[in-house]
Amino acid sequence: MTPALLRRWRPPALSLPSWPWRLTWTYLGLILFLPLGAMLLKAARVGPVGFWEMATTPEALATYRVSFGLALVASLINGVFGLVVAWALVRSSFPGQRLLDALIDLPFALPTAVAGLALTAVYSTNGWLGQPLNEAFGFKVAFAAPGVTVAMVFISLPFVVRTVEPVLRSLEKEQEEASWCLGATPLQTTVRVVLPQLMPAILGGVAQGYSRAVGEYGSVVMISSNVPFRDLITPTLIIQKLEEYDFEAATVIGSVMLIFSLFSLLVINLLQVWGQRYQGDAA
């Protein structure tokens, strides 16, 4: 894209004062690398056999299932509805659109503890939505796995919407017009012309939301009953291990989550590269 091209033409680096550079690295070193190193060192001391054993206890495996499984459900739900919301924001105009737009950012701005409190209040068996759901279907949301999913849906929705929205906005209308002129139905146009172009953005948003949902603690811990093997998430297990002074187990499980974070960061970056390439071809 153009910024990259422009950058190449620029003269070699201005002799900027070196203090920002030094400050950046010192700060990163103290704030990020030092704690990261402490944890990796601690994890390395456990040894590979012990690490594997502690990382795969039935208790830990159950929390992975809850955290990674429900986060997947939540981010897939958001993959679908996030696309719908982004579509509504870009391609329609209706009263209240600006409010909708502002509401999307609320999960970013609202402290997770408040989100947890709000969701628990609404979805508990005497809440606005929890009560009818419970009376009509005997379905319990808060203090059970569905509640955890709802919390994860709440916090990961903006990621999909805000990733898809700009791409949808930048799509060229000509392609859709061409498709329509060639006799495609609106459905065909959407599925075969629009959706493929949006796919990198959708997957990128889903991946970001997934990564966030897996690591989420504040809102989930409030709406979950935190019963092991049922709806206990991995971050809560880490805290429980710390409270039991089982620092090794906490370190090992924390490292598993860290490895997952690094991996998801890689995937998200690759998806972004893919998306840029796609847009580059289209342009």
Partner 1 sequence: MTIVVPSLESPRPTPAPARRSRRQGLDLPGILIPLIACLYVGVVILLPALSVVVSAFAKGVGPFLENFRSPELLSALRLTLFATAVAVPCNVIFGLAAATAIARREFRGKALLLSVIDLPFSISPVVVGLMLVLLYSPTQGLLGRVVESLGWRIIFSWPGIVLATIIVTFPFMAREVIPLLEEEGWEQEEAARTLGATSWEVFWKVTLPSVRWAALYGLILTTARALGEFGAVAVVSGNIEGQTQTLPLFVEDAYKNYQTELAFGAAMVLGGVAIVSLLLKILVEQVLEQDRKASRNPLDG
Tell me if 87 contacts partner 1 by CB under 8 A: yes
* 213 neighbors 261 (Cβ within 8 angstroms): no
| Shortest reach from residue 201's CB to partner 1, in Å | 17
| Shortest reach from residue 196's CB to partner 1, in Å | 14
How many Å apart are CA 7 and CA 11, to the nearest integer? Answer: 9
Residue type at 70 in one-letter notation: L
Residues 63-82 that bind partner 1 (CB under 8 A): 81
| Shortest reach from residue 94's CB to partner 1, in Å | 5
* 231 neighbors 225 (Cβ within 8 angstroms): yes
Return the residue of 89, 198, 206, 232 that touches partner 1, per CB under 8 A: 89
- Residue 153 is encoded by which pair of tokens? 């849906």
Nearer to partner 1, 57 or 264 (CB): 264
Number of C-beta neighbours around residue 192 at 10 A: 11
Structure letter (DSSP) for residue 79 = H
Identify how many contiguous H helices and E strands the chain contains and give both numbers: 16, 0
Nearer to partner 1, 29 or 56 (CB): 29
| Shortest reach from residue 7's CB to partner 1, in Å | 7
Residues 247-276 that bind partner 1 (CB under 8 A): 247, 250-251, 254, 257-258, 261-262, 264-265, 268-269
| Shortest reach from residue 47's CB to partner 1, in Å | 17
Nearer to partner 1, 144 or 257 (CB): 257
| Shortest reach from residue 172's CB to partner 1, in Å | 11
Tell me if 38 contacts partner 1 by CB under 8 A: yes
Count of residues engaged in binding partner 1, rule: CB under 8 A: 102
DSSP string across 146-196: HHHHHHHHHHHHHHHHHHHHHHHHHS-HHHHHHHHHTT--HHHHIIIIIHH
Return the residue of 29, 47, 52, 109 that touches partner 1, per CB under 8 A: 109
How many Å apart are CA 157 and CA 145, to the nearest integer? Answer: 18
How many Å apart are CA 16 and CA 39, to the nearest integer? Answer: 35
Residues 122-161 that bind partner 1 (CB under 8 A): 122, 127-129, 150, 153-154, 157
Tell me if 117 contacts partner 1 by CB under 8 A: yes
Structure letter (DSSP) for residue 95 = T
| Shortest reach from residue 28's CB to partner 1, in Å | 7
- How buried is residue 13: exposed, middle or buried, by Cβ count under 10 Å (0-12/13-18/19+)? exposed
Residues 155-214 that bind partner 1 (CB under 8 A): 157, 173, 176-177, 180, 185-186, 189-190, 194, 211-212, 214
Tell me if 39 contacts partner 1 by CB under 8 A: yes
Tokens 């495609």 label which residue? 184
Return the residue of 72, 225, 242, 278 that touches partner 1, per CB under 8 A: 242
Of the candidates 53, 63, 31, 4, the one whose C-alpha atom is nearest the C-alpha of residue 227 is 63
Return the residue of 14, 49, 136, 283 that touches partner 1, per CB under 8 A: 14
